[in-house]
Amino acid sequence: MKVGDLIRINTTHWHEGGTIGIIINAFPVNLNKPKDFESRAFKVLLSNGKIISKLREQIEVISEN
């Protein structure tokens, strides 16, 4: 997952479940990250105009940028 990917919030998630969005920012936990580092948290712009934070486990990629 990376900035620009089209995602869907898991339908089993209690908040905004099933909503479509685009990743607009990824939060690296380690600033000196190795090449294979994967972000765990993301800021997502939802189709309803809200910007929310989501964890990797709460979203699924529909289309990669």
Residue 12's pLDDT band, with cuts at 50, 70 and 90, is confident
Q: Judge whether 1 lies within some domain.
A: no
Average pLDDT over every residue of 48-53: 93
- CATH code for the domain of 43: 2.30.30
> Would you state the pLDDT for residue 14?
75
Pairing of β 6-9 and β 20-27 = antiparallel
Write out pLDDT tens, residues 25-44: 988 755 666 666 778 899 99
The answer, yes or no, to whether residue 11 has pLDDT greater than 90, is no
Q: Is residue 16 part of a domain?
A: yes
Regarding pTM above 0.85, the answer is no
Is residue 41 one of the residues assigned to a domain?
yes
Tally of structural domains, the chain: 1
Q: pLDDT band for position 22 (50/70/90)?
A: very high
